[in-house]
């Protein structure tokens, strides 16, 4: 586990290598957070990452959202996810769904993408069962585009918080 003084002393390249996976396939978040060094507290560090995303242009936020893979999708089945997503999805068995569950996830992912034009995102690290994902899929499909954009960002921040907590001492999970 890293501590704050080690992080504050990191050269840019090491910082980027360490934190590039915190926000899915979006190293620009770590690059902009690095510019905010040094951090006085871990809360300040988490806020630096979060504010980078929150202050980004809507198009850049959408790029971040669309960088996420489908839950239980073909990439998970084929082992083609980032290390972080692999760890998170495998925890609930989304990388080894039986044919019926895979078909259900494929259908829900397709319906969701058709409605919102980006993948369904939920912080699986805070869930205990696949059924919780199904319930969220079915309830969130009724959201407006703006509501779901904000919910996707909220879920991304939860995912990032868990990823940071796995790397850094004294960051409690959300």
Per-position b or e across 127-140, b if 16+ CB within 10 A of its CB: beebeebeebbeeb
Rg, the chain, Cα only? 16
Of the candidates 68, 129, 143, 149, the residue annotated as catalytic is 68
Torsion of CA 150, 155, 134, 70, to 10 degrees: 90
Instruction: Give me the residue label for tokens 């990823």.
Output: 163
Contact indicator for 119, 31 with CB cutoff of 8 Å: no
CA 93 to chain CA centroid, nearest Å: 17
Cα–Cα distance measured from residue 145 to residue 148, given in angstroms and rounded to the nearest whole number: 5
**117 is known as an active-site residue:** no
C-alpha distances (whole Å) from 10 to each of 23, 49, 103, 167 are 19, 16, 45, 14
As annotated, the active-site residues are: 68
């Amino acid at each position: 586990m890293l501590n704050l003084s080690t992080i504050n002393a990191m050269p840019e390249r090491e910082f980027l290598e360490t934190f590039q996976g915190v926000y899915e396939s979006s190293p620009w978040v770590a690059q902009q957070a690095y510019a905010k060094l040094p951090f006085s507290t871990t809360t300040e560090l988490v806020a630096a990452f979060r504010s980078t995303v929150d202050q980004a242009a809507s198009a850049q936020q959408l790029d971040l959202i669309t960088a996420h893979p489908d839950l239980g999708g073909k990439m998970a089945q084929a082992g083609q996810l980032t290390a972080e997503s692999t760890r998170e999805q495998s925890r609930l068995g989304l990388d080894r769904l039986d044919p019926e569950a895979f078909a259900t996830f494929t259908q829900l992912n397709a319906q969701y993408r058709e409605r919102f034009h980006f993948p369904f995102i939920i912080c699986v690290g805070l869930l205990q069962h696949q059924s919780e994902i199904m319930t969220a899929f079915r309830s969130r499909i009724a959201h407006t585009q703006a509501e779901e954009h904000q919910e996707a960002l909220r879920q991304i921040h939860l995912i990032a918080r868990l990823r940071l907590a796995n790397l850094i001492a004294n960051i409690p999970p959300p």
